[in-house]
Amino acid sequence: VCNACKKNGGICIVNDGYQEIEKKMKEADAIIVGSPVYFGSITGMLKTLFDRSRTLRVNWELKDKVCAAITVGATQHGGQEHTLQAIHAWALIHGMILVADSDPTAHFGGAAVAKQVDGEFKIDEWGLQTARS
């Protein structure tokens, strides 16, 4: 960890395009984070974004923003809940408010299955319902 953002009041010394995403997260009232399941968890790119968002935690700039999580895996029980928990952990570390379900379908967030069979993607109605919930 370079700690430059901590020493510089939340400003990152790496200028690589993250600043545009950071600005959008600061301006947002709510953030919906989605990730496919990669080996049972979030993608490496999302983890990198989460790590870079340390700049926002220095001054608690995401505190009390609303956060929702959606994930898609290739199989049922393919790591969706673990992926949702990784997103929730990031949000809670920032002091964000997690969205809960409005009916008993999505206790942890939207979780769906997307798998191509014979050249077609099958619609996961239950997964879509968890996202709507």
pTM: 0.86
Q: Do the domain assignments include residue 97?
A: yes
- 22-78 pLDDT, tens digit each: 999 999 999 999 999 999 999 999 999 999 999 999 999 999 999 999 999 988 889
Judge whether 113 lies within some domain.
yes
Domain assignment present for residue 22? The answer is no
Residue 23 lies in a domain: no
Q: Provide the domain limits for residue 71.
A: 30-132
Q: Residue 4 has which token pair?
A: 């430059």
Which residue bears the tokens 């870079």? 52
55: in domain:
yes
Residue 119 has pLDDT above 90, yes or no: no
Two structure tokens written together for 61 = 């700039």
Q: CA-CA distance, 70 to 108, in Å (whole number)?
A: 9
What is the domain-level CATH number for residue 81? 3.40.50.360
Residue among 84, 101, 21, 83 at smallest CA distance from 56: 21
Judge whether 71 lies within some domain. yes
Give the residue carrying structure tokens 């009041």: 9
Number of folded domains in the chain? 1
Domain assignment present for 126: yes
Q: What is the CA radius of gyration of the chain?
A: 16
**CA 103 remoteness from chain centre:** 21
8 — pLDDT class (breaks 50, 70, 90): confident
Tell me: the pLDDT tens digits for 75-108? 888 999 999 999 999 999 999 999 877 777 767 7
Q: Do the domain assignments include residue 102?
A: yes
Structure-model confidence comparison of residues 115 and 22, the more confident one: 22
Measured between alpha carbons, how far is 42 from 57 in angstroms, rounded to an integer? 20
**Residue 106 confidence (pLDDT):** 67
Q: What's residue 131's pLDDT? A: 82
Q: Which helix (H) or strand (E) holds 121?
A: strand 120-121
